[in-house]
């Protein structure tokens, strides 16, 4: 094994129950891809980056993560995922000040502060807000905000040239990979509002590992091994 090899454990082997995949996956993947590719942002990407985005297949992750979500919910979740990832990917090439502006525009778009410069996020925000309960939406926006703050810190670390220790990186990765919003959007997927105490339970964060592995696979395939 070389220094750039990345071997992930088959998580299916350690789960005590079979994984369910949303049967709407193929339909929603086609729709969400067409939606994203209709924006000028996509056409500005290098062909290699377009291929990497399609190969990452975040829609499949969502199909497993929300196996009983209806068509509308799964489609909107897939659109939000790609919008969030694009913002994350954009800030990877920005300094802290520019990353902060990009992330604030992203949050404003989700929270219905419509901006023509962020039509991608605004389109998703309008649709999501209609299906969220008030408390659930506040939690969703709060966790998106915390993720944004972590991404700003990531940009600051790059500017300073600071490399985290393994222990620091593991803790930091949990905050910047965007897992918590993926859990908070469960309330949207299932059209429920959970009691606040549930979000403090340890089992609520069990998905950090799998989502982190999926995200790291994309980073690795794109050459960002040392991020």
CATH number at residue 210: 1.10.600.10
- pLDDT value at position 226? 38
Residue 16: is its pLDDT beyond 80? no
**Number of domains comprising the chain:** 1
Structural domain for 68, as ranges: 23-220
Q: What helix, strand, coil percent values describe the chain, rounded to 5? A: 70, 0, 30
Q: d(Cα 141, Cα 107) in Å, to the nearest integer?
A: 8
Tens digits of per-residue pLDDT, 30-67? 999 999 988 887 878 888 888 888 888 899 999 998 99
- pLDDT value at position 44? 82
Q: d(Cα 74, Cα 89) in Å, to the nearest integer?
A: 22
Structure tokens at 70: 């209806």
Q: d(Cα 80, Cα 62) in Å, to the nearest integer?
A: 11
Whether 108 is covered by a domain: the verdict is yes
End-to-end CA separation in angstroms for the chain: 20
pTM: 0.81
> What count of residues does the chain have?
227
12-16, 175-179, 192-196: segment of lowest average pLDDT: 12-16
Whether 106 is covered by a domain: the verdict is yes
Whether 227 is covered by a domain: the verdict is no
Cα–Cα nearest to 157, from 220, 96, 219:
96
Tens digits of per-residue pLDDT, 121-133? 888 888 998 899 9
- pLDDT value at position 5? 62
Band (pLDDT 50/70/90 cuts) for residue 96 is very high
Whether 203 is covered by a domain: the verdict is yes
Q: d(Cα 26, Cα 17) in Å, to the nearest integer?
A: 23
């Amino acid at each position: 094994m070389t220094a750039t090899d990345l071997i992930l454990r088959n998580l299916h082997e350690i789960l005590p129950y079979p994984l369910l995949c949303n049967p709407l996956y193929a339909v929603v993947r086609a729709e969400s891809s067409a939606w994203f590719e209709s924006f000028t942002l996509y056409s500005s990407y290098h062909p290699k980056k377009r291929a990497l985005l399609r190969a990452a297949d975040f829609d499949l992750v969502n199909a497993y993560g929300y196996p009983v979500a209806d068509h509308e919910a799964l489609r909107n979740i897939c659109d939000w995922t790609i919008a969030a990832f694009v913002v994350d990917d954009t800030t990877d090439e920005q300094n802290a000040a520019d990353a902060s502006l990009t992330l604030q525009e992203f949050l404003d778009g989700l929270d219905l502060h419509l901006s023509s410069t962020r039509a991608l996020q605004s389109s998703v925000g309008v649709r999501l807000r209609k299906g969220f309960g008030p408390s659930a939406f506040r939690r969703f926006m709060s966790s998106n905000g915390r993720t944004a703050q972590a991404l700003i810190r990531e940009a600051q670390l790059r500017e300073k040239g600071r490399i985290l220790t393994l222990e620091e990186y593991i803790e930091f990765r949990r905050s910047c990979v965007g897992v918590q919003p993926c859990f908070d959007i469960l309330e949207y997927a299932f059209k429920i509002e959970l009691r606040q105490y549930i979000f403090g339970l340890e089992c609520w964060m069990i998905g950090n590992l799998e989502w982190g592995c999926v995200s790291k696979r994309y980073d690795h395939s794109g050459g960002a091994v040392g991020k």
